Chains A and B, each alone.
Chain A
Amino acid sequence: MSQTITIDPVTRLEGHGKITIHLNDQGEVENANFHVTQVRGFERFSEGRPFYEMPSLMARICGICPVSHLIASAKACEAIMSVRIPHTAAQLRRMLNLAQMVQSHALSFFYLSSPDLLLGMESDPQTRHIFGVVGAKPELGRAGIALRRFGQHIIELLGNKRIHPGWVVPGGVTEPLASAKRDEILGMIPEAYANIELALRWYKQIAETFAPEIEVFANFASLYMGLINEDESIEFTDGALRLIDARGEIVADGITAAQFPEVIGEAVEPYSYTKFAYYKPLGYPEGSYRVGPLARLNIAKSMGTPMADGELSLFKQLSDDGPVQSSFHYHYARLIDILYGIEKIEMILSDPLILDKHVRATAGVNRLEGAGHAEAPRGTLHHHYKVDENGLITWANLVIATGQNNNAMNKGVLQAAKHYVKNGKFTEGILNRVEAVVRTFDPCLSCSTHAFGQMPLAISLVSAEGEIVDQVIR
Chain B
Amino acid sequence: MSKLKLATVWLDGCSGCHMSFLDMDERLIALAEFVDVVYSPIVDTKVFPDEVDIALVEGAVASVDDEKKIKKIRAHSKLLVAMGDCAVAGNVPSMRNPIGPEAILDRAYIENADVQQQIPCVVVPKLLRVVRPIHEFVKVDVFLPGCPPSADTFHAALTALVTGEPLDVPALTRFGA
Contact A111 B22 (CB under 8 A): yes
Q: How far is the CA of A379 from the CA of B124 in the complex (A)?
A: 24
- Say whether, besides A11-B45, A142-B26, A275-B109, A449 and B69 are in contact (CB < 8 Å): yes
- Asked if A450 and B125 make an inter-chain contact with CB atoms under 8 angstroms apart, the answer reads yes
Question: Chain A interface: which of B92-100, B135-143, B155-163?
Answer: B92-100
Partner of A448 from B10, B47, B112 at Cβ < 8 Å = B10
Is A162's beta carbon under 8 Å from chain B? yes
Contact between chains at A16 and B10 (CB < 8 Å): yes
Given A44-B96, A164-B148, decide whether A273 and B124 contact each other with a Cβ distance below 8 A.
yes
Q: Which residues of A contact B147 (CB under 8 A)?
A: 60, 164
Give Cα A45 to B15, complex, Å.
Answer: 20
A116-161 with Cβ < 8 A to chain B: 125-126, 128-131, 134, 142, 145-146, 148-149, 152
Pair B46/A8 contact, Cβ less than 8 Å = yes
- Alpha-carbon distance between A130 and B43 when the two chains are bound, in angstroms: 8
When distances are taken between beta carbons in the complex, the residues of chain B under 8 Å from A45 are 95-96, 99, 104
Residue of B nearest to A274 (CB): B120
Residues from 240 to 274 in A contacting B, C-beta threshold 8 Å: 265-273
B29 contact from A126, A134, A450, A455, Cβ within 8 A: A134
| B44 and A64 contacting across the interface, CB-CB below 8 Å | no
Q: How far is the CA of A39 from the CA of B102 in the complex (A)?
A: 12
Query: For window 28-46 of chain A, which residues contact chain B by CB distance below 8 Å?
Result: 33, 35-41, 43-45
Give bound CA distance, A35 to B116, whole Å. Answer: 17
- CB pair A148–B15 under 8 Å, yes or no, is no
B12 interface neighbour in A40, A63, A163, A455, Cβ under 8 Å: A40
Residues of the B chain whose Cβ atoms lie less than 8 Å from the Cβ of A146: 25-26
Tally of contact residues, A, Cβ under 8 A: 75
A447 touching B15 by the CB < 8 A rule?
Answer: yes
List A contacts of B29 (CB < 8 A): 131, 134, 142, 145
A162 and chain B: residue at smallest CB distance: B23
Closest B residue to A435 using CB positions: B44
Q: Is A365 an interface residue (CB 8 A)?
A: no
Which residues of B in the span 1-31 have a Cβ within 8 Å of any Cβ on A? 10-20, 22-23, 25-26, 28-29
Q: Are B113 and A266 in contact (CB under 8 A)?
A: yes
CB-contact partner of B109 in A60, A149, A268, under 8 A: A268
Contact B124 A271 (CB under 8 A): yes
Q: B15 touching A15 by the CB < 8 A rule? A: yes
- Whether A41 touches B124, Cβ cut-off 8 Å, given contacts A16-B41, A266-B112, A448-B10, is no
- CA gap between A411 and B70 in the complex, in Å: 33
B175 interface contact, C-beta 8 A: no
Among A18, A130, A268, A432, max chain B CB count under 10 A is at: A268
Residues of chain B with a CB closer than 8 A to A11's CB: 41-46
Asked if A323 CB lies within 8 Å of chain B CBs, one says: no
Query: Contact: B41 with A12, CB < 8 Å?
Result: yes
| Complex contact A268–B118 (CB within 8 A) | yes
B78 at the interface (CB under 8 A from A): no
CA of A45 to CA of B29, assembled, Å: 40
Most chain A C-beta atoms within 10 Å of own C-beta, residue among B25, B46, B58, B113: B46
B69-109 contacts to A, CB under 8 A, are 69, 72, 91-93, 95-96, 99, 101, 103-105, 107-109
Asked if A350 CB lies within 8 Å of chain B CBs, one says: no
Contact of A424 with B by CB under 8 A:
no
Within the complex, what minimum Cβ distance (angstroms) separates B90 from chain A?
Answer: 12
Complex CA distance for A39 and B126, rounded to whole angstroms = 10
B108 touches A41 (CB 8 A): yes
Interface residue? B133 (CB, 8 A): no
Kindly supply a per-residue 1/0 record for chain A positions 1-33, scoring 1 wherever the CB is within 8 Å of any chain B CB and 0 otherwise.
000000111011111101010000000000001
* Distance from A409 Cβ to chain B, minimum over Cβ atoms (Å): 15
The chain B residue sitting closest to A112, CB to CB, is: B42
| A207 on the B face (CB < 8 A) | no
A37 touches B148 (CB 8 A): no
Per-residue CB contact flags for chain B residues 115-139 toward chain A (1 = under 8 Å, else 0) read 1111011111101000000000000
A273 surroundings in chain B (CB, below 8 A): 120, 124
Q: Is B172 close to A, CB under 8 A?
A: no
Q: Of B18, B44, B46, B121, which is in contact with the most chain A CB atoms at under 10 Å from its CB?
A: B44
Which residues of B are interface residues toward A (Cβ below 8 A)? 10-20, 22-23, 25-26, 28-29, 32, 37, 41-48, 58-59, 62-63, 65-66, 68-69, 72, 91-93, 95-96, 99, 101, 103-105, 107-109, 112-118, 120-125, 127, 147-148, 150-151
| 20 pairs of residues in contact across A and B, judged by CB atoms under 8 Å | A14-B15, A43-B108, A44-B104, A62-B15, A63-B13, A63-B15, A63-B17, A64-B16, A64-B19, A131-B28, A131-B29, A152-B25, A162-B151, A163-B16, A163-B23, A269-B120, A446-B12, A449-B69, A452-B65, A456-B46
- A63-B14, A163-B16, A448-B59 known; 18 new pairs, CB 8 Å cut-off, are A12-B44, A35-B123, A37-B125, A39-B120, A40-B93, A41-B95, A64-B15, A134-B29, A145-B28, A162-B150, A164-B148, A266-B114, A268-B118, A268-B120, A271-B122, A275-B109, A447-B12, A452-B48
